[in-house]
A and B are shown apart, each in its own frame.
Chain A
Amino acid sequence: MKILVPIKRVADPDNANKVKISGDGTEVTSEGLEWKMNPFDEWSLEAALRLTEDGKTKSRVGEVVVVSIGPKDAVATIRQGLAMGAERGILVEGEDKKLDALVVAKILQKIVEKENPDLVVLGKQTVDGDSNLVGTYLAEFLGWPVANYATSIRTSDDGKTLTIVRELDTGAATLEVKGPAVITTSDRILHPHAVKNGVTPDDFAYPESEGGRYASLKGIMAAKKKPVEETSAAALGVDAAPQVSYVSFKLPPARSGSTTFVESAAELVQKLRNEAKVL
């Protein structure tokens, strides 16, 4: 099975409250913050690695290709993916400012048409834009089905058919999908039994984890030698223009007032009743 995993670098999401806005309000700047792999993409990469390995012996039984769109130094994020275990990388050079979900999806469409993967697995959203658009756009442009917010992926025939559980506001839906398909992942995709590929023994449980696997030293060394192809939107023949324009950014208003510390449940109830007047 061959899986394409688009990954985006984002400003350190655990410090998202430290991003700044440029003086004229037209740009979000994240100076001083580390670039990290978008967590949802990292989970997708982990899910893709699980789908293409024997979890017990850790031998690879498929191929994972990571692709990122961004400036030249986004290659560091690709190397991180390669160190985790992906076989190859593709960097599509582009300026973040000139990308929106449409342009990104059009670029990914070209990559998919070249690479012919069985699946594209990506995060349901990036933690900076929070838009939830690219996976669905890509599926529509390819004429493929998409399973958004997957919390469980099962296949036993190399991704030709898949049983996918989607997490919804109202509960959970189960779909049977014929590949090739796009899958966007949600929280819980890294549960010990969330991903099954017919190769890893059914009773094998992955360890509980909050993110993708750590790259081993060996993995990091190997990643330096793995191929990373560089291309651009123009070379791929994509000339789409953004459909949306951000006209301004600002920081949210701070919550007014300070924190009142209370000693007891009784004091809390009294304050909520007489001061905040919410009881």
Chain B
Amino acid sequence: MTDVLVVAELLEGKARKTTLSAITAARQIAAGGAIDILVIGEGASNAASELTGFGARKILKAEIAGGYTAEKYVGTVANVAKSGYGAIVATSSSYGKDLLPRVAARIGAGVAPDVSAITVDGGKLVYTRPMYAGNVIGQLTVNTPVQVVTVRQTEFEAAAPSGGSSPVEDVAASIDDVASKVEFKGLEVVKSERPDLAEAEIVVSGGRSLKSADNFKNLLEPLADALGAAVGASRAACDAGYVSADLQIGQTGKVVAPKLYIAVGISGAIQHLAGMKGSKTIVAINKDKEAPIAQVADYFLVADLFDAVPQLTEEIKKVKAAG
């Protein structure tokens, strides 16, 4: 039993859903201990009120104006982190992976990064995590009194509200010199009407074989729309500028684990498989039936995607219409 601090992630003044996965992980680590949630950033007061129903002992909030930099937040988070917690937890989003290691280095804590499961062995917390692009599963222990943990969103279900109303307390912001060396100039947030990749039940993903941004739009997006799916892409498709980089799935980029993953014109490099092989059912559509994606595909439609994708979209519309 230990007390755990969750560091919430804010986007445009709201708590991101990633925070709820961190709460789930924190419940596992705390094993009956208290959970506090630190809400830091611009709009912290609003975001704090969104998180009062998850059974936290208290919500700590620090309102800090302007855009996020780790340098600006680290002092405040570190002060709270060293006030008696056994573990500090966030989701390993680009936010958690940027901020928590800085906090850990500040307070001398070891980090278990990008964790997929948490167990206890002989009274010690053991963290499981994929390495080598998901080709090795490592288990580690952290040898410092405070443990810093970032967790994979897809492996920890979003916490459900547990009732109650946690009190909200203000925390003094502590901003040190290093913050003056970085100035936040702007954040371009990618907006989409589609489900978020990390949370979608179905993901339709395209590769370089789609050949253009227009083909992504005219072929892949109607298929995703028919399925109510999120759209993803291989690194090659992102590099070529067919879609924005935030849609990249893989060892770098996002990790997804939907119930259905449809890989269109994706050969299946190891780096891509690392981001999607946890999907329940995997479909490949590819001209080349020897493509490495076959190693993980449950169903493989050997066809030219330019014929097959519109046909598939029509078939899906038909069965959806029939109920």
Smallest CB–CB gap between B52 and chain A, Å? 24
**Residues of chain A within 8 A of B139, CB atoms compared:** 246-249
Q: Are B300 and A262 in contact (CB under 8 A)?
A: yes
1/0 per residue, CB under 8 A from A, across B100-112: the answer is: 0110111001111
Choose among A124, A137, A169, A264 the residue that contacts B246 (Cβ–Cβ < 8 A). Answer: A169
- Answer yes or no: B169 CB below 8 A from chain A CBs: no
**Residues of chain B within 8 A of A235, CB atoms compared:** none
Given A102-B110, A131-B113, A262-B301, answer yes or no on A136-B312 (Cβ-Cβ < 8 Å): no
Choose among A14, A125, A187, A265 the residue that contacts B235 (Cβ–Cβ < 8 A). Answer: A187
Query: Smallest CB-CB separation from B197: which chain A residue?
Result: A169
B-contacting 9-mer, from A175-183, A198-206, A212-220: A175-183
Q: Are A243 and B109 in contact (CB under 8 A)?
A: yes
- Answer yes or no: A60 CB below 8 A from chain B CBs: no
Smallest CB–CB gap between B174 and chain A, Å? 15
**Residues of chain B within 8 A of A143, CB atoms compared:** 177-178
Interface residue ranges of A129-152 to B (CB < 8 Å): 129-133, 136-137, 139-141, 143-149, 151
Choose among B92, B135, B141 the residue that contacts A247 (Cβ–Cβ < 8 A). Answer: B141
**Residues of chain B within 8 A of A243, CB atoms compared:** 109-111, 142-144
**Residues of chain A within 8 A of B252, CB atoms compared:** 40, 124-125, 186-187
- Answer yes or no: A171 CB below 8 A from chain B CBs: yes
Query: Smallest CB-CB separation from B105: which chain A residue?
Result: A140
Smallest CB–CB gap between B318 and chain A, Å? 8
Choose among B102, B113, B133, B187 the residue that contacts A13 (Cβ–Cβ < 8 A). Answer: B133
Q: Are A248 and B138 in contact (CB under 8 A)?
A: yes
Q: Are A279 and B280 in contact (CB under 8 A)?
A: no
Choose among B102, B132, B180, B299 the residue that contacts A16 (Cβ–Cβ < 8 A). Answer: B132
Interface residue count for B (Cβ, 8 Å)? 97
Choose among B185, B298, B319 the residue that contacts A273 (Cβ–Cβ < 8 A). Answer: B319
**Residues of chain A within 8 A of B227, CB atoms compared:** 279
Query: Smallest CB-CB separation from A179: which chain B residue?
Result: B181
- Bound CA–CA A141/B105 (angstroms): 7
Q: Are B298 and A28 in contact (CB under 8 A)?
A: no
Query: Smallest CB-CB separation from A133: which chain B residue?
Result: B101
**Residues of chain A within 8 A of B136, CB atoms compared:** 19, 21, 28, 249-252
Q: Are A16 and B143 in contact (CB under 8 A)?
A: no
**Residues of chain B within 8 A of A255, CB atoms compared:** 277, 282, 295-296, 298
* Interface SS of chain A: mixed
Q: Are A173 and B67 in contact (CB under 8 A)?
A: yes
* Interface SS of chain B: mixed
Q: Are B308 and A265 in contact (CB under 8 A)?
A: yes
Given A172-B188, A176-B182, answer yes or no on A259-B299 (Cβ-Cβ < 8 Å): yes
Question: Which has the most chain B C-beta neighbours within 10 Å: A124, A127, A133, A271?
Answer: A133
- Answer yes or no: B271 CB below 8 A from chain A CBs: yes
- Answer yes or no: A237 CB below 8 A from chain B CBs: no
- Answer yes or no: A232 CB below 8 A from chain B CBs: no
Q: Are B298 and A171 in contact (CB under 8 A)?
A: no
- Answer yes or no: A32 CB below 8 A from chain B CBs: no
Choose among B98, B135, B281, B314 the residue that contacts A252 (Cβ–Cβ < 8 A). Answer: B135
- Bound CA–CA A24/B75 (angstroms): 42
- Answer yes or no: B219 CB below 8 A from chain A CBs: no
- Answer yes or no: B175 CB below 8 A from chain A CBs: no
Q: Are A148 and B97 in contact (CB under 8 A)?
A: yes
Q: Are A169 and B289 in contact (CB under 8 A)?
A: no
Given A16-B135, A105-B105, A167-B245, answer yes or no on A173-B70 (Cβ-Cβ < 8 Å): no
1/0 per residue, CB under 8 A from A, across B60-90: the answer is: 0000000111110010000000000000000
- Answer yes or no: A227 CB below 8 A from chain B CBs: no
Smallest CB–CB gap between A130 and chain B, Å? 5
Given A187-B235, A260-B299, answer yes or no on A170-B246 (Cβ-Cβ < 8 Å): yes
**Residues of chain B within 8 A of A265, CB atoms compared:** 301, 303, 308, 311-312, 314-315
1/0 per residue, CB under 8 A from B, across A221-246: the answer is: 00000000000000000000011111
- Answer yes or no: B321 CB below 8 A from chain A CBs: no
Q: Are A177 and B182 in contact (CB under 8 A)?
A: yes
Q: Are A130 and B114 in contact (CB under 8 A)?
A: yes
- Answer yes or no: B212 CB below 8 A from chain A CBs: no
13 A-B pairs, CB-CB below 8 angstroms? A16-B133, A128-B131, A132-B101, A136-B98, A148-B97, A210-B239, A242-B143, A251-B136, A252-B130, A252-B134, A260-B300, A265-B303, A279-B227
Q: Can you add 5 more A-B contacts, CB < 8 Å, to A143-B178, A166-B94, A262-B301?
A: A19-B135, A163-B185, A167-B246, A265-B303, A268-B312
Closest 7 CB pairs of A and B: A243-B110, A140-B105, A265-B311, A136-B101, A265-B312, A174-B185, A176-B183
